[in-house]
């Protein structure tokens, strides 16, 4: 069952619409976050809202955090699927010119429904990746660090991967591998965890941060530095992360097989434990399995 929440009100699919002059419709001018919920409980809720709030401040979006949090929790409570996906989108509201509206109104809407996690074959054997045929629209912009609705470059790359029979497309800027169309990238080499630095070119992913924390807790040294194609192909293991897939091992990039190791599974377990601990801290409970 799909659930729609528009500005805090639950609506039918036919009524879950924005006006044709909304900034999100006209220009893709929106911010969003994608959440994973298990048994109606949202993982890393406040970390997602922290990032959304940062983007709203930087781009001058209306953002009523308490109202958004309440709407998300109410929506999650209605979910019946054991595993679900929620997407929260912020819009600036109607625009009649290229100037941002002087009156800060805006809209938010939530789409929620069942989510099918990666199957056992993907988790055990890994997934196929390809290099995206396109570059980011403006790789030097500070905006890639924000979750923006203007997602054409990522959508094009993700569709390319699907047409090639791959799970993910990796952005490659002048020989430096940045991240996936929908994921962050990690690799292990000589018992060191490597990932491209977040900021101008790479999104500061929620699970990305949890992986770095888990590595520190387990004595695995980590470096945030550029990763070349050669670095990646010579990795001892490599994996993707995002809030829905968690950690997903990479088995092949283009036509080259990747090595497999033990750290991906160890870090995946650690991130799952962190999700349970964060939920317990926020809600005064102790969940062993999130």
pLDDT tens-place string over residues 6-15: 999 999 999 9
Q: What whole-number percentage of the chain has pLDDT above 70?
A: 91
Task: Identify whether 289 is part of a domain.
Answer: no
Q: Do both 175 and 229 map to the same domain?
A: yes
Structure tokens at 233: 């192909």
* pLDDT for res 174: 87
Last residue of a domain, one of 114, 142, 160: 114
Taking every pair of Cα atoms in the chain, the longest distance, rounded to a whole number of angstroms, is 56
Q: Do both 43 and 58 map to the same domain?
A: yes
Cβ contacts of 141 within 8 Å, gap of 6 or more: 200
* pLDDT for res 141: 57
Q: Do both 17 and 110 map to the same domain?
A: yes
Residue 153 sits at φ, ψ, to 5 deg, of -65, -40
C-alpha 132/C-alpha 159 separation (Å) is 10
Task: Identify whether 285 is part of a domain.
Answer: no
CATH code of residue 213: 3.20.10.10
Residue-wise pLDDT for 43-86, tens only, equals 999 999 999 999 999 888 989 999 999 999 999 999 999 999 99
* pLDDT for res 145: 67
Q: Do both 20 and 80 map to the same domain?
A: yes
What mean pLDDT is reported for the chain? 90
Collapsing DSSP states into helix, strand and coil, what is residue 217?
helix
Q: Do both 129 and 244 map to the same domain?
A: yes
Q: Do both 79 and 153 map to the same domain?
A: no
Output the pTM of the full model. Answer: 0.91
Q: Do both 76 and 103 map to the same domain?
A: yes
> How many domains, in total, are found in the chain?
2
Q: Do both 75 and 154 map to the same domain?
A: no
* pLDDT for res 258: 98
Last residue of a domain, one of 73, 92, 114: 114
Q: Do both 164 and 254 map to the same domain?
A: yes
The structure tokens 């283009």 sit at 254
Asked if 201 and 139 touch (Cβ cutoff 8 Å), the reply is yes
Q: Do both 166 and 100 map to the same domain?
A: no
Collapsing DSSP states into helix, strand and coil, what is residue 136?
coil
> Based on C-alpha coordinates, what's the Rg of the chain?
19
> Domain span at residue 90?
3-114
Q: Is the pLDDT of residue 90 over 80?
A: yes
Residue-wise pLDDT for 269-287, tens only, equals 999 999 888 765 655 444 4
Last residue of a domain, one of 114, 130, 152: 114
Asked if 18 and 109 touch (Cβ cutoff 8 Å), the reply is yes
């Amino acid at each position: 069952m799909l659930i729609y929440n528009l500005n805090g009100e639950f609506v039918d699919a036919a009524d879950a619409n924005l006006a044709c002059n909304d900034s999100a419709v006209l220009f893709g001018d929106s911010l969003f976050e994608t959440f994973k919920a298990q048994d109606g409980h949202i993982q890393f809720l406040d970390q997602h809202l922290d990032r959304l709030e940062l983007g709203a401040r930087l781009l001058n979006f209306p953002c009523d955090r308490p109202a958004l949090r309440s709407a998300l929790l109410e929506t999650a409570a209605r979910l019946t699927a054991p595993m679900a996906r929620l997407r929260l989108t912020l819009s600036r509201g109607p625009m009649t010119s290229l100037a941002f509206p002087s009156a800060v109104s805006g809209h938010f809407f939530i789409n929620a429904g069942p989510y099918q996690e990666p199957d056992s074959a993907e988790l055990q054997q890994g997934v196929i990746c390809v290099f995206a045929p396109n570059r980011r629209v403006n790789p030097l912009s500070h905006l890639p660090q924000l979750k923006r609705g203007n997602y054409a470059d990522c959508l094009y790359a993700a569709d390319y991967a699907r047409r090639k029979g791959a799970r993910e497309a990796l952005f490659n800027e002048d020989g430096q591998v940045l991240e996936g169309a929908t994921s962050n990238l990690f690799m292990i080499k000589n018992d060191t965890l490597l990932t491209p630095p977040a900021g101008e070119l790479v999104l500061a992913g929620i699970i990305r941060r949890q992986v770095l924390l888990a590595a520190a807790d387990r004595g695995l040294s980590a470096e945030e530095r550029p990763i070349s194609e050669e670095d990646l192909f010579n990795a001892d293991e490599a994996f993707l992360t995002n809030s829905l897939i968690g950690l997903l091992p990479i088995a092949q990039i283009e036509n080259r097989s990747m090595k497999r190791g033990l750290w991906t599974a160890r870090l995946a377990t650690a991130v799952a434990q962190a999700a349970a601990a964060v939920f317990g801290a926020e809600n005064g409970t102790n969940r062993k399995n999130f």
